[in-house]
Homo-oligomer: A and B are copies of this chain.
Amino acid sequence: MTETTKRPEKRVTVIDVARAAQVSPGTVSNAINGKRPVDSETRARIEKAIATLGYVPNMAARGMRTGRAGTIALFSSMPTAVAAGASKLGFMMEIAASAAQVALRRNVALVLVPPIAAPADALRNVPFDGALLVEPAEDDPFLDLLSARAVPVVGIGAAPRAGMPCIDLHYRATAKLLTEHLLSAGSRSFPLVIGTSARQYYREFEEMYCTILASAGLVPRVIRVDEAHGEEAGAAAVEARLAEDPALDGVLVPVDALATGVMAGLRAAGRNVPRDVRVVTRYDGLRARTETPPLTAVDLHLEEAAERGTLALLDMIEGAETPPVRLLPEPALVLRASSAPE
């Protein structure tokens, strides 16, 4: 009765196949991997032996010889308070889904490394030939760990360090899109709410926002909120701002977890969105879409970003020096009720 759960006596190896097919192990390897020509009649014998014996190559042994793990890893170091919760790592998982499919088509599996308390331990025990890094911060703990492993890395977002290949998520263009949208929707006093950590993302948003507001003759106001505190921090920030500036008529809050916080804060303060205050965010995920009213957001072409990033990484792993990273299409506004014109 324990037959089904019992471990197999002995693993079938390439040696067993070779014996059954009356060839040497090397020939079996060549037949499987096609590195060198094998007589078609011999190949047929080998394939038959593989089938009847139920041979499955041992990936570890292969990997040891070839130096390839056969996997790439997807990392995200977003603070869990932002990444988890309602959207359940939405941003990362959207990338993961596409990346996994693309990689699998090239016979590489994707391993998922969500934010975790002990990144070093994680890294030490996860086998991978290359890494995809989702919106890395400049002081990202994964950066050092990855460079210690000397594997190719591709960022998705903006390069935190010079020389790191990266799929550009067009932070500037996105910031411009959202800021100009709020302006053209009629908002005149709207702060930018961003996180406190050191990210290219925040810096470029801030820069673009300030530039546009200044040239429109408006006063930019940047509110920094610790992302680790999640929604509540967003709510508190907007409530405090409302106290200072009752004329506030818009909020540009790119981080979606903070955006839902801002919405809650506005509700608590009795403001109607979009009538009194218009709110826009960046990532068009579950949070933005299921907020009431749903939030205007941006189509970042994440799927395409994931595909290109994955292909670039695979090329690098295979030795390409300069992966051909073409630009993504420009980000596009996804207009929703939270900033609908009156």
Contacts and interface: CB of A to CB of B under 8 A. Distances in A.
Interface of A: 2, 4-5, 7-8, 54, 56-64, 67, 69-71, 73, 88-89, 92-94, 96-98, 100-101, 104-105, 107-114, 116, 121-122, 124-127, 148-150, 163, 286, 289-290, 294, 303, 321
A28 to B, nearest CB: 14
A47 B294 CA distance: 53
B54 A148 contact: yes
18 contacts: A5-B163, A59-B60, A59-B126, A59-B127, A60-B67, A60-B69, A60-B127, A61-B64, A71-B126, A73-B109, A88-B98, A93-B93, A100-B114, A104-B116, A109-B112, A111-B111, A289-B290, A290-B294
Contact of A89 (B8, B97, B121): B97
A285 to B, nearest CB: 8
B93 A127 contact: no
A137 B62 CA distance: 32
Nearest to A110: B112
Contact of A7 (B5, B96, B105, B150): B150
Contacts of A111: 71, 109-112
Contacts of A62: 60
Copies in the complex: 2
Contact of A150 (B8, B92, B112, B148): B8
Closest 7 CB pairs of A and B: A60-B63, A59-B127, A60-B64, A100-B112, A109-B126, A107-B125, A93-B93
A237 B60 CA distance: 49
Contacts of A150: 7-8
Contacts of A127: 59-60, 63, 69-71, 109, 127
Contact of A56 (B2, B7, B108, B148): B148
A62 B63 CA distance: 11
A83 to B, nearest CB: 9
A222 B62 CA distance: 50
Contacts of A116: 101, 104-105
A321 B2 contact: yes
A109 B104 CA distance: 17
Contacts of A64: 58, 60-61, 63-64
Given A4-B163, A56-B124, A286-B289, 4 more contacts: A63-B63, A71-B71, A93-B97, A112-B112
A320 to B, nearest CB: 10
A148 B5 CA distance: 13
Contacts of A92: 97
A73 B94 CA distance: 18
A46 B130 CA distance: 28
B124 A104 contact: no
Given A4-B163, A61-B64, A88-B94, A113 B124 contact: no
A112 B88 contact: no
Nearest to A4: B163
A302 to B, nearest CB: 9
Given A61-B64, A321-B5, A56 B101 contact: no
A238 to B, nearest CB: 24
A127 B100 CA distance: 14
